[in-house]
Structure 1
Amino acid sequence: MINSKKIGIITYFYFYNYGTMLQGFATQLLFDRFKDVDAGLIDYRFGTKTAPRKLDVFLIRLKRLLVYFKEFRRVYYTGKYSALKLHRNIYFDQFVSKYLKLSPKRYMYENEIAEDAPKYDIYVTGSDQTWSPKIGFSPALFLNFASKDSIKAAYAPSLGVSSLTEEQSDYIGKELQKYDFLSCRESLGSEMLEKVTGRSIETVLDPTLMIRSEEWLRYARKSMINGKYILCYFLGDRDYYRDYVAQLSKQTGLPVYYIPVSWKDFKKSNNLLWEVGPSEFLGLIANAEVVCTDSFHGTIFSVNFHKEVRVFVKHAGNVSGGDNSRLFDILKRLGIEKQLITEYKSGTEIKDTRIDYQHVDELLFAEREKSMKYVESIVNSVKS
């Protein structure tokens, strides 16, 4: 009897965020599709035991008080709709319970996983911004707990920045020496990692794009909206893309529905969709006529489902650098940079920008082939 290769994936997956949870699930699906592989997610929740000092608490509260006065509307709407937003978590929990394969033990803190590490043949640092200096380096995401004789790999991690300090470069360069396989989700990230490691870094697709649309539909819930609609999923607070949506609705005659995250969208008149978990998220995108988003995963799920997507940037400034770079990078690799809208003057007529999905699929096929070869090299590094 052939023994299965056990693969443990560590990544962010449980932060009640659609992209975060679905990329973790996609990485599980990507590795678990091999006949001789048993792949799952290491159930690490990234908790912290450090208690804040009383002085720090006081200063935080004082700072918040000043913010409350300065940004009253944001604070008011966030508080008013907080219960509805919290209720949404139930749908995430149901998705995890139904579809995710988690390690037998749950780890809340860094020391727990270091002291009683789960046993696998292959350890994989997964996708999302797992190596981002902005979020903060977690030793566990650099596989500090993995046994020395195991295979260590990375699939599509992101740095989330356009440059590294000398200290950050030294830390990452040292930590990555233990890895047998290295990759990155963005071209810019791969270039930075090559500089700090002196090794060749494969640029691979986000795992959600490695799962084809027909497979994603197995996990989707039917859209709760009848008829054609524009779907908005905005994480940022910028006004220019909300002005764009208003004009797009006017020109097309289509109603607009929001999966609300930003307080800017917390208005009853916005057709807010609160009871949306990962399955509902997939269904809403799959059935939309147009998707407007500033989200990386909102964008690539729209592309995967062949939607007319309009992409916006959360942060002003260089669209090819920093946090914006991941959006710019994937749109460029798929030949649809024209879908990126960096500015818009309210009331200006919007030109039709249809996507040639035959061309996109050709480029996506080549990217998938390259990424799958990388995955296969990891899987085949251990004999059954």
Structure 2
Amino acid sequence: MRDSVNCILTINDDDNFGNRLQNYALQELLRPYGDVTTVLIGTDRGHQLVRRVKQICKDILEIPRLGKMGVSRLRRHLAFYRFTSVFVPNTHVSMSDQGVVRTSRTVGKVCIGSDQVWNYSFAWLAPTLKYRLGASFESGQLLSYAASLGVSSVDEEYQPIFQEYLSRIPRISVREIAAQQALQPFVKQPITVVLDPTLMIDDEYWHKIAARNKTKGKYVLTYFLGEVSTQQKNEMQAYADTHGCTIKRLNDVTDVETYSAGPREFVSLFKDASYVFTDSYHACCFSLIFGKNFKVYSRNGGALRNMNSRMATLFTLLDLDEALLEKDSRYPAYDYDVIRPKLLGLQRQSEQWLRESMRS
């Protein structure tokens, strides 16, 4: 239909690098099949704008107290808001927390994913789980691409929801082998493991959106979502000292300059890094995209569940056993002449699955 638009149903997180960048990547993957928009969940454009303005005003008011960090927080929020507005606009379709859909155009296909769209372990996500399983849309509209549970098994209280709504999705793909194993018992149709969208689009897309990197000289890049141990800090500092690098710390309030990075700056920092240390899945993805050597650690502390199943699937698919040697004092290095052909093969398999699903 000429006025129809295909929709991405995912988490809307304006403060999460991986969420914004995989939303962008999935959007670009879907463009050959028609216009694409992202469903705005739990609010509408007007309320979203009000919420952003309130956050900006709060940041400005806190600058006298926080100084440079206050300015950095403001710049970070503005960078995320600009990225969403320019690169992943959510202007046509919204859905309330009660599943009521409002749209200015006819909805075509609804692609659920990627990210942890089916993760119920976060309190703010649990109440809308059935709607993130597509309950508000017709069964024939639905498919999932690289959807993630974020957990390795489904808790008993949420099993009835998956039992009822997952079976309505004719074509299901997930990002992790653990998710495939956990969800397959709920449905008759096969569940396929596919690549994360960030690994599916050509390098040119990432070079196009990367911000200009103003960093001078060589640097090691760190990106952690959990706590960083003293031993890990010492390992990273030792590598930097040995190789004549400074350290840029994404998502770390002690690195005021780097903390201001938005999604575009995130991409450029990975593009130009000499080495990467991380506990983040998408840091691994972008290290692979740009051919960087990296060391990955298990996530420590906080309320975040350990999410290593995502990395285990990725490393298994690419035969990167050395990436899992976190307790080893060595710094892994990878042969990208071997990795790239394997990645290309996986891209082709995932692309074929998506093509068949969008045209079914």
Q: 2:269 aligns with which of 284, 301, 309?
A: 284
Residue 339 of structure 1, CA deviation:
2.3
Q: 1:300 aligns with which of 285, 296, 314?
A: 285
3-state DSSP of counterpart to 2:206:
helix
Distance 1:174 1:222, change over 3 A: same
1:328 counterpart residue number: 312
Residue 328 of structure 1, CA deviation:
1.9
2:347 counterpart residue number: 368
Q: Which runs of structure 2 are paired with 1:65-84 in the superposition (5 Å)?
A: 81=69, 84=72
Is the 1:170–1:196 Cα contact (8 Å) retained in structure 2? Answer: no
Identity %: 26
Is the 2:8–2:110 Cα contact (8 Å) retained in structure 1? Answer: yes
Larger radius of gyration: 1
1:165 counterpart residue number: 155
The alignment of Structure 1 onto Structure 2 pairs a total of residues equal to: 331
1:310 counterpart residue number: 295
Using the alignment, how far apart are the partners of 2:111 and 2:93 within structure 1? 17
2:102 counterpart residue number: 116
1:254 counterpart residue number: 245
AA matched with 1:279: R
AA matched with 1:22: L
1:59 counterpart residue number: none
Distance 1:242 1:79, change over 3 A: farther
Q: 1:377 aligns with which of 353, 356, 359?
A: 356
Using the alignment, how far apart are the partners of 2:290 and 2:3 within structure 1? 33
Query: Which of the two has greater strand per residue?
Result: 2
Deviations 1:61-104 (A, max 9, x none): xxxxxxxxxxxxxxxxx999466334311001111222223232
Q: 1:104 aligns with which of 55, 76, 92?
A: 92
2:60 counterpart residue number: none
Q: 2:201 aligns with which of 192, 211, 215?
A: 211
Residue 360 of structure 1, CA deviation:
1.0
AA matched with 1:210: M
1:180 counterpart residue number: 170
AA matched with 2:40: D
2:132 counterpart residue number: 141
Residue 5 of structure 1, CA deviation:
5.8
Residue 326 of structure 1, CA deviation:
0.9
Which structure 2 residue ranges, 5 or more long, are not aligned? Answer: 45-65
- Is 1:93 aligned with 2:114? no
Using the alignment, how far apart are the partners of 2:144 and 2:101 within structure 1? 22
Deviations 1:156-214 (A, max 9, x none): 11111122233322321211111111111001111111122233101001111111222
Residue 6 of structure 1, CA deviation:
2.8
- Is 1:234 aligned with 2:224? yes
Distance 1:85 1:151, change over 3 A: same
AA matched with 1:334: L
Is the 1:162–1:322 Cα contact (8 Å) retained in structure 2? Answer: no
Please, what TM-score do these two structures have when normalized by structure 1?
0.79
- Highest RCO, 1 vs 2 (Cα 8 Å, sep ≥ 6): 1
